[in-house]
Each structure stands twice: as C-alpha cells, then as structure tokens.
Chain A
C-alpha cells in the first residue's frame, strides 16, 4: 500500500519566485494537512483540507495557499518567496480518527 507521496523531494528557488508543492494521500484518505518545519520554529500547522474544503488554517501570511482536488490530492503554493520560507514542508493524510495522521517524507525547499 503506497504511503503519502510528496513531490518534489528537493527544490531550490530564488527570492520573489513562487512554488507549488504536491501531495498525494494514501488511497481512501480524504483529509490532508500541511506543516512547515524549520530549525527555529519547529513544526507548524499550515492548513487542513477535507473534501476539497479548507477546514482549518494556521497563522501564516496569505502568500501561503493550498487546495485539494476531487481525488484528494493536494497542492500548496507559496508566492513571492522569502529566505525565511526555506523549510521542510510535510504533508499528512488521515483515514479516520483511529489512525491519526500518516506523514510523507516532505519537500525540502531552499530559497536563495
């Protein structure tokens, strides 16, 4: 059974550019969440989607956005990249409350 797949694994972007990260949840999982991990701030919640609807959003600027498609795949977008956006971005999906969230391996974004 395939796990949560995130693409790409690594990304280097220049300040001011925008980036789109992709997440394919485990088959059958309808809830998808995104987290940002940095050495200074740790793991922080970005947003959570269920059935194409954003149900919860963390305390991030509007440059961070996301969406979920009908097949539960999700994308997150960061516009006007800043150096501080360099981080590991983790996606997680959930089947039901008995399992908690299964995380992907993440996309490591470096902004130069």
Chain B
C-alpha cells in the first residue's frame, strides 16, 4: 500500500530563515509521482510541483527547491528566505502511474503547518 509520512506536524520560524519540510513515502510501484501542495487558510490546495519516479533531478523555483532521493524514499521541500506569505499547511502526496488525463488517486501525508513570524 502507498503511504506518505510528514513527520513534522508544525514548524515555526522567523521571517528570512530557511526551512525544510520533510516527506518520506512508501510504494511498491516502480512508476509513481510525487507532489507538493500548499493550503492557505482559504482552503484551496495550490499545486507547487510534480515529480516522476524516473527524474531525480533537484528543482528550484525562485525561493522554493525540492530534493528527491529515491534511495531514501524522500522528497523534501525547502523554502529559502521565508516570508510571512509562506505561512500555510503544506502537503506531500504520492500517486500511482498516471493515466493520460492525470493521476487517478493521490495519497496525502498529514501535512505540515508552517508559520512564518515577522
């Protein structure tokens, strides 16, 4: 069975600090996809990144970066120079092989509540 673990329930840092959110996953599939979503207080899940199991390149998008390591089944997310607007709940998710139209099912971690204090 697929499982995603986000061991950090809550993280609180001061603005401009760097922060890393951990994500560890379990799957027996050889082809799978990993996601990060952000959930602000409004409730909507905002897509941040998708990574497939064959692409272990790290990715950087502005202040956001992701480190995917198959050897440790981890897909960690780092925010550099955090800002108050980054405060939200962040979810890591895993899906089995996608159909042409997208993932059929996402398995989510429990989420990490990130608070950035001014």
User: CB-CB < 8 A to A102: which residues of B?
Assistant: 47
Interface of A is mostly: strand
A82-112, CB under 8 A of B: which get 1 and which 0? Answer: 0000001010101111111111111010000
Q: Is the CB of A45 within 8 A of B100?
A: no
Query: Which residue of the partner chain B has the closest CB to A100?
Result: B50
Complex Cα spacing A92 to B111, Å: 18
Tell me the minimal C-beta distance from A71 to chain B in angstroms.
16
- We find that the number of chain A residues with CB closer than 8 angstroms to chain B is 30
Complex Cα spacing A43 to B47, Å: 15
Which B24-82 residues sit within 8 Å CB-CB of chain A?
33, 35, 37, 42-47, 50
Known: A30-B101, A90-B45, A97-B98. A42 touches B35 (CB 8 A): no
Q: Is the CB of B101 within 8 A of A92?
A: no
Q: Is the CB of B45 within 8 A of A50?
A: no
Tell me the minimal C-beta distance from B67 to chain A in angstroms.
19
Binding site for A on B (CB under 8 A): 33, 35, 37, 42-47, 50, 91, 93, 98-111
8 contacts between A and B (CB under 8 A): A31-B99, A35-B106, A35-B108, A43-B93, A48-B104, A90-B43, A96-B102, A99-B50
